[in-house]
Amino acid sequence: MKEVVPNLLTKGINYLFPPVCGNCGDAIWDNTGICSDCWKDLTFISGTCCHSCGYPFELSHGGEMLCGECLHSPKSFDKCRAALIYNVHSKDMIIGFKHADKTHLTALFTRWLSSCGHETLGNADIIAPVPLHRRRLLRRRYNQSALLAHGLARLHRKRHVPSLLLRTKNTSSQGQFSMTGRWRNVRNAFVLNKKFEKDVDGKNVILIDDVYTTGATLDACARVLKKSGVASVSAIVLARVTKE
């Protein structure tokens, strides 16, 4: 009976104020966060991918293959995995989560991160978000990557350290730069929080971010952590850009 009452209450609230799809805005009759029509258009990354950056391969090549980009420019992080491809079907939902207060999507996105990052989550000592500069955080009021990191850490009972890294440069948005410009933009933009200098030596850290484009931001963060004595740095992101 104790479980029935809350369920009935939830159904009543959903009937009066139905939740809406986080992508198209249509009403949905449960709290899954996304409607079935939008769900079928999303492209989740579940097959063979680059062992380093997680770029999806069309064909399985066997073994731990690297994409051309990672062969040409090895990354500072050890491994990155993304839940889905960032494209016309997923971008509005992700932008809404990032800039339009659609934080109710956190639980759904956390489950997606958990699914794509299961290989590395078991060995994680610390889960931390890619940080925002304090000025941007004040303007936006929340760090979307920190929401995801907190949800993932709670789900897997891992230590969440939201301020492990600090963004010391108020960098411009990466979206306005070329590939080379993105790397320049985040160079020396991050430092390890001095409060955790003695906590990271020999630890396995997982970084959380929303979108992977060139990997420049994650690489800059991983470089700082590796110099601070971290044993391994993996990354789990909500979506990643592909060449298509």
Give tens-digit pLDDT for 128-142: 999 998 888 888 889
Residue type, 232: S
- Least confident span in 100-114, 172-186, 214-228: 172-186
State in Å, rounded, how far the first CA of the chain is from the last one. 52
* Res 181: pLDDT: 67
For residues 57-61, give the mean pLDDT.
75
Distance between CA atoms of residues 243 and 239, nearest Å: 13
Confidence at 32, pLDDT banded by 50, 70, 90: low
57 vs 181 pLDDT, higher one = 57
With a CB cutoff of 8 Å and minimum separation 6, the contacts of 206 are 117, 120, 121, 124, 126, 127, 128, 158, 233, 234, 235, 236
- Least confident span in 24-38, 105-119, 136-150, 216-230: 24-38
* Res 140: pLDDT: 81
Distances (CA, A) of 12 to 5, 6, 19, 126, 156: 10, 10, 12, 39, 31
* Res 31: pLDDT: 62
E strand segments, the chain:
79-85, 126-129, 159-160, 165-167, 190-192, 204-212, 232-240
* Res 64: pLDDT: 80
Q: Is the pLDDT of residue 166 over 60?
A: yes
- Percent of the chain predicted with pLDDT > 70: 83
Confidence at 53, pLDDT banded by 50, 70, 90: very high
* Res 2: pLDDT: 45
Q: Under the phi-then-psi rule, with left for phi > 0, alpha for psi from -120 to 50, and beta for the rest, what region is 188? A: left
For residues 222-243, give the mean pLDDT.
96
Confidence at 34, pLDDT banded by 50, 70, 90: confident
Mean model confidence pLDDT for the chain? 86
> Is 42-240 in CATH node 3.40.50?
yes
* Res 189: pLDDT: 84
Q: Which residue has the tokens 């420019």?
A: 73
